[in-house]
Amino acid sequence: MSKAVLDTSAILAVINQERGAERVADLLADPKAELLIGTVNLSEAHAVMVNRGVPEREAWGFLAGFEAIVVPFDVGLARASGKMIAQTRKLGLSLGDRACIAIGLRERCPVLTADRAWGRLKMGVEIELIRD
């Protein structure tokens, strides 16, 4: 895999050293891999860390250290994310989830997540679950 999008859960798996983190860490260490993180997912990860008591500057510093391309949430992604609501509502996907999937669709690359519900999606994008 040369290009992939990281969902918030994949980012947090690395930060918290959770099961599945090694898959993401391997990609982060691979100089041939092009990893993408959407600004919405970056914000979600930051909020989770701060909510768990990590000082704001420390949390942001850690996230800023990720070797990934940050993808702005633009009008095209906003529209694509909004359009998905009917297909994803029953699985409980958030705006961040849909924004991440929208990046995968636009960039035609897999999306890495720890969220098992995504495995049931039929959206035209490859979903890679980082945990078995």
Question: Please, what's the largest Cα pairwise distance for the chain?
Answer: 38
Predicted confidence at residue 1, as pLDDT, reads 56
The residue whose two tokens read 């599945």 is 20
Q: What is the 3-state secondary structure (H, E, C) of the chain?
A: CCEEEECHHHHHHHHCCCCCHHHHHHHHHCCCCEEEEEHHHHHHHHHHHHHCCCCHHHHHHHHHCCCCEEECCCHHHHHHHHHCHHHHHHHCCCHHHHHHHHHHHHHCCCEEECCHHHHHCCCCCCEEECCC
- Which regions of the chain are under pLDDT 70? 1
Instruction: Give domain limits for the chain.
Output: 3-129
pLDDT of residue 113: 97
For residue 23, give every residue at least 6 positions away whose Cβ sits within 8 Å of its Cβ, in sequence order, or none: 112, 128, 130
Task: Report the C-alpha gap between 36 and 109 in whole angstroms.
Answer: 10
Q: Which of 3.40.50.1010, 3.40.640.10, 1.10.1740.10, 3.30.200.210 would CATH assign to domain 3-129?
A: 3.40.50.1010
Token pair, residue 22, equals: 């090694």
